[in-house]
Amino acid sequence: MQEIPYKIYLEENEMPTQWYNVRADMKKKPAPILHPGTLQPVTVNDLAPIFCEELAKQELDDTTPYIEIPEEIRNFYRMYRPSPLVRAYCLEEKLQTPAHIYYKFEGNNTSGSHKLNSAIAQAYYAKKQGLKGVTTETGAGQWGTALSMACSYFGLDCQVYMVKCSYEQKPFRREVMRTYGAKVTPSPSMNTNVGRKINAEFPGTTGSLGCAISEAVEAATTQEGYRYVLGSVLAQVLLHQSVIGLETHTALKKYGIKADTIIGCAGGGSNLGGLISPFVGEMLRGEADYEIIAVEPASCPSLTRGKYAYDFCDTGKVCPLAKMYTLGSSFIPSANHAGGLRYHGMSSIVSELYDQGLIKARSVEQTSVFEAATTFARVEGILPAPESSHAIKVAIDEALKCKETGEAKNIVFGLTGTGYFDMYAYQAYNDGTMSDYVPTDAEIEKYLSSLPTV
Amino acid sequence: MQEIPYKIYLEENEMPTQWYNVRADMKKKPAPILHPGTLQPVTVNDLAPIFCEELAKQELDDTTPYIEIPEEIRNFYRMYRPSPLVRAYCLEEKLQTPAHIYYKFEGNNTSGSHKLNSAIAQAYYAKKQGLKGVTTETGAGQWGTALSMACSYFGLDCQVYMVKCSYEQKPFRREVMRTYGAKVTPSPSMNTNVGRKINAEFPGTTGSLGCAISEAVEAATTQEGYRYVLGSVLAQVLLHQSVIGLETHTALKKYGIKADTIIGCAGGGSNLGGLISPFVGEMLRGEADYEIIAVEPASCPSLTRGKYAYDFCDTGKVCPLAKMYTLGSSFIPSANHAGGLRYHGMSSIVSELYDQGLIKARSVEQTSVFEAATTFARVEGILPAPESSHAIKVAIDEALKCKETGEAKNIVFGLTGTGYFDMYAYQAYNDGTMSDYVPTDAEIEKYLSSLPTV
């Protein structure tokens, strides 16, 4: 057999030309999303005032298995894709494990993460529809950065509502967005009714993601030629992110490697869903079997401690409801939670796959995550994002189990991005001031008790 | 002919196994470096108390054309190399130029620049010599980060003296270094005689690169088992950086592309020297001809306005003297100079090639550099380092000339790194508060008047 290189790069002509829509192969589909007013399944027409039409169609399409990637998007992908599937030789040696560890590295682009895969698709469809621009919210700024880059490429206006405390405390991502021409507004702002109302009610507030979503949605629906876009959770986002899994699948096949365990971090589920889609497809069609592990923070444990129920996708309760594993739409992780993965719910596709037993879930505490991140950085040379490091933590755990059992498992995990804009969190870890937080059962119960009755 | 992909990646087995030492092909060699006490050419024995022995040998070897890259270093290179040679299709389209633009991208690693190519080599030889650790200085932190990564890989202690104002104002690179286990000390410190002296003389000083060098050298020579290492200027560094040029040369050859113009930014000369070495070698051997352009900041114009003379390599005058294009060792660029490329002199190899007329030099002002950087970022998707953006500026200028003349030249430039830790400078540009500074003739004359008499 061919020797496995450190980095497996596909040729450009081996890159996917179609996204894979895993819902098409699911016998039991994810539950439909519901209109927040009528509580009836939404239609493309319901979604059209908020979302681009083509994206609304993709959101509701659970039967077409493969959807063509337009040439313009494929050209953009070629600027930073195919992303490498890396054999973690140095990590294996460090751990002295018989396991073979691979990671799909999505951080080699200026947005620093996989978010760009969907941002460029969403910007493309907005442009194609003849829109002037898009609005969105961003917390730490990973999604906002990706969207800014995508909009800059297609000449679209990009309006980002950035949670005020991030805007002030994390100025670097804000400046990356501005460099790409985006208008970045600290939220709550005085641009929108909802922003003015919140500022009047809570003077000096530093904002929240829920408030920023509400402002972005209002901005999209009150300006001619604008729509709202979202970087995770939605089925359309998982569809676009399937490019991660498809490349991984092709690369493994090219070298005759059969994955045993596939691991991804999970916040809203976009990276995990994209990575595992083609593999889950094989499981659904009875062609292969894999152990799939979703890793979430112990401080925001939607899969491991949440409830599978209909819930609002946003704190402001203006977006549709989805059936998902959720902690309740008012849940906000403790302030000492460092990384992303802070969404209260989980993609309805990932939720349904979890409910069907096709994937497992595990929660990990952040100090152990940064310990794994530091180990990884020192031997593999890449300083990982806190989000991605959740997957690293479990990949290391699994590789150490192999060391005990002597099994030479093939472990594949998603390294979604780099941590260059997360050095405050690393500083806390380096200084020994980072702490862990796990919500009590009573706290979880409190948030879950306010789930809507559907 | 084969279609040129967006990114040309060599196979791992096409990576160089030897560095190329351009001095071997130079009939007129760079002038020897001189001992600061005796003003006689230094010997390996002179250098041995400060530098690792093998590196001292490489420093003085101007006859061996190819030097084996040890396997341990090649294995490390495989974690982030080969680096891609990118065809800038989108930039070409934006400029509507008939020119073909290529860039060798060295930023896809956590150090964010090409500095890692030499850091790993220097760490390897230190380890091989049985040393405990190395010391160095860093300004903005690019070199310090690369060295931290390299030392972490080989289990060496890494002590970095970081200019105090950078230590306080740019905490992120400091944290990356700490994550890789380096001891980062703000300079001037109370650890060294020279640091204590400066702190006593100038209470509250925020330090300078010259002072940090002096502290690092003192730390290396007063601790058992330590040596001092440097990230640019030296011949050994250009030797290691030849890996950039060798990969570029192989990639162009593989696709039958003949470069017409080769452009690199130049501070101390490590990246430029590495990129152009194999091409200059062809010129020296009469096998090919290229137009080679070194680009420097107008605020620190050593090639375009300096003098070709012997000068001290450091402000503290403890290191050997080199014959180079220099502005005088006391020259410090104006405080409004944003990026790196702030060294007062230029690698003696690059200086000699420039003096022989084999390369040209051009100086550019920083506002135009950030304008070029922003254009590049928006179409090519990579947010470039301020240093690298000097090369982008001239590459764009040359491509626009081709637009006028209709020539389809092949323009190749070095994209040394990413700007993720330079967002303060981008912010100044985005806010319109960035200014340009060009020293007057009188200022240049003042600094040059203090050159040593050798």
What confidence tens digit (pLDDT) does each residue in A33-54 have?
999 889 999 999 999 999 999 9
* Beta strand spans in A79-196 (E): 85-87, 100-105, 133-138, 157-163, 183-187
Nearest C-alpha neighbor of A400 from the set A365, A372, A426? A372
Cβ atoms of B67 and B21 within 8 Å: the answer is yes
The whole-number pLDDT of residue B2 equals: 60
Q: Two tokens at B89?
A: 């299709």
B381–A5 CB contact, under 8 Å: no
Q: Closest chain A residue to B170 measured between Cα atoms? A: A423
CA distance B206 to B386: 23
Q: Residues of B at the A interface (Cβ-Cβ below 8 Å)?
A: 5-7, 9, 11-12, 76, 78-80, 90, 108-110, 112, 149, 152-153, 171-172, 175-176, 178-181, 374, 377-383, 418, 420-421, 423-424, 426-427, 429-430
Cβ atoms of B343 and B314 within 8 Å: the answer is no
Could you say which of A12, A80, A112 has the minimum Cβ distance to residue B5? A12
The strand pairing partners of A296, in sequence order, are A363
In chain A the first and final C-alpha atoms are separated, in Å, by 55
Residues of B in contact with A80 (CB under 8 A): 381
**CA B83 remoteness from chain centre:** 17
Of B89, B110, B382, B431, which to mutate for an interface test with A (greatest number of A Cβ within 10 Å)? B110
Cβ atoms of B299 and B337 within 8 Å: the answer is yes
Q: Rounded to 5 degrees, what are φ and ψ at A218?
A: -60, -45
Q: What is the CA radius of gyration of chain B?
A: 21
Q: Closest chain A residue to B385 measured between Cα atoms? A: A110
Cβ atoms of A134 and A229 within 8 Å: the answer is yes
- Write down the mean pLDDT value for chain A: 94
CA distance A325 to A307: 5
DSSP 8-class letter at B13:
G
ipTM: 0.92
Helical pair A193-201 and A209-222, crossing angle rounded to 10 deg: 150
Q: Does residue A409 carry a pLDDT above 80?
A: yes
CA distance B327 to B343: 9
What are the pLDDT digits (tens) for A193-245? 999 998 999 898 888 877 898 899 999 999 999 999 999 999 999 999 999 99
The whole-number pLDDT of residue A450 equals: 86
Q: Provide the percentage of residues in chain A whose pLDDT is more than 70.
A: 100
B110–A149 CB contact, under 8 Å: no
Query: Given this chain, do its domains B7-14+81-112+235-448 and B29-69+115-228 carry the same CATH topology?
Result: yes
CA distance B315 to B307: 17
The strand pairing partners of B101, in sequence order, are B411
Q: Closest chain A residue to B148 measured between Cα atoms? A: A378
Task: Looking at the complex, report in whole angstroms how far the Cα of residue B256 sits from the nearest Cα belonging to chain A.
Answer: 18
CATH architecture for segment(s) A29-69+115-228: 3-Layer(aba) Sandwich (3.40)
The whole-number pLDDT of residue A2 equals: 60
Q: How many CB pairs under 8 A join A and B?
A: 114
B153–A6 CB contact, under 8 Å: no
Residues of A in contact with B179 (CB under 8 A): 374, 377-378, 383, 426, 430
The whole-number pLDDT of residue A329 equals: 86
Cβ atoms of A207 and A331 within 8 Å: the answer is no
Q: Tell me the whole-structure pTM to 2 decimals.
A: 0.94
The whole-number pLDDT of residue B1 equals: 46
The whole-number pLDDT of residue B29 equals: 98
Task: Looking at the complex, report in whole angstroms how far the Cα of residue A342 sits from the nearest Cα belonging to chain B.
Answer: 23
How many secondary structure helices (H) and strands (E) does chain A include? Answer: 18, 15
Single-letter residue type at B135: T
B112–A420 CB contact, under 8 Å: yes
Residues 6+ apart with CB under 8 A from B332: B208, B342, B344
Largest Cα–Cα separation, chain B: 68
Residues of B in contact with A5 (CB under 8 A): 11-12, 78
Q: Does residue A394 carry a pLDDT above 90?
A: yes
Q: Two tokens at A115?
A: 């978010």
Placement of tokens 């507030």 in the chain: A205
Could you say which of A149, A377, A427 has the minimum Cβ distance to residue B110? A377
Could you say which of A5, A171, A426 has the minimum Cβ distance to residue B179? A426
Give the pairing type, strands A85-87 and A360-364.
unpaired
Q: How many CB atoms lie within 10 A of CB A170?
A: 18
The strand pairing partners of A161, in sequence order, are A137, A185
Q: Two tokens at A98?
A: 């018989």
The strand pairing partners of B68, in sequence order, are B18
Of B6, B92, B180, B183, which to mutate for an interface test with A (greatest number of A Cβ within 10 Å)? B6
pLDDT band at A139 (very low <50, low <70, confident <90, very high): confident
A149–B426 CB contact, under 8 Å: no
Mean pLDDT value across residues A393-400: 98
Of B105, B423, B427, B434, which to mutate for an interface test with A (greatest number of A Cβ within 10 Å)? B423
Task: Looking at the complex, report in whole angstroms how far the Cα of residue B184 sits from the nearest Cα belonging to chain A.
Answer: 12
- Calculate the alpha carbon distances from A187 to A34, A174, A180, A268, A370 in Å: 27, 13, 20, 21, 29
Q: Does residue A273 carry a pLDDT above 50?
A: yes
Residues of A in contact with B108 (CB under 8 A): 108
User: Which residues in chain B come in under a pLDDT of 50?
Assistant: 1
Cβ atoms of B429 and B365 within 8 Å: the answer is no
**B82 cis-preceded (ω within 30 degrees of 0):** yes
**A188 cis-preceded (ω within 30 degrees of 0):** yes
Cβ atoms of B352 and B30 within 8 Å: the answer is yes
Domain boundaries, chain A: 7-14+81-112+235-448, 29-69+115-228
The helix (run of H) or strand (run of E) holding residue B389 is helix B386-405
Residues of A in contact with B153 (CB under 8 A): 90, 378-379, 381
The whole-number pLDDT of residue B206 equals: 84
Cβ atoms of B56 and B48 within 8 Å: the answer is yes
Half-sphere exposure of A124 (CA within 13 A, CB side): 18
A378–B181 CB contact, under 8 Å: yes
Could you say which of B79, B110, B423 has the minimum Cβ distance to residue A90? B79
DSSP 8-class letter at A375:
H
The strand pairing partners of A137, in sequence order, are A161
Burial degree of B380 (CB within 10 A; 0-12, 13-18, 19+): buried
Cβ atoms of A412 and A255 within 8 Å: the answer is no
CATH architecture for segment(s) B7-14+81-112+235-448: 3-Layer(aba) Sandwich (3.40)
A420–B79 CB contact, under 8 Å: no
* Beta strand spans in A336-391 (E): 360-364
Task: Looking at the complex, report in whole angstroms how far the Cα of residue B301 sits from the nearest Cα belonging to chain A.
Answer: 27
Cβ atoms of A176 and A167 within 8 Å: the answer is no
Buried b (16+ CB within 10 A) or exposed e, B188-217: bbebbebbeebbeeeeeeebbbbbbbbbbb
A378–B426 CB contact, under 8 Å: no
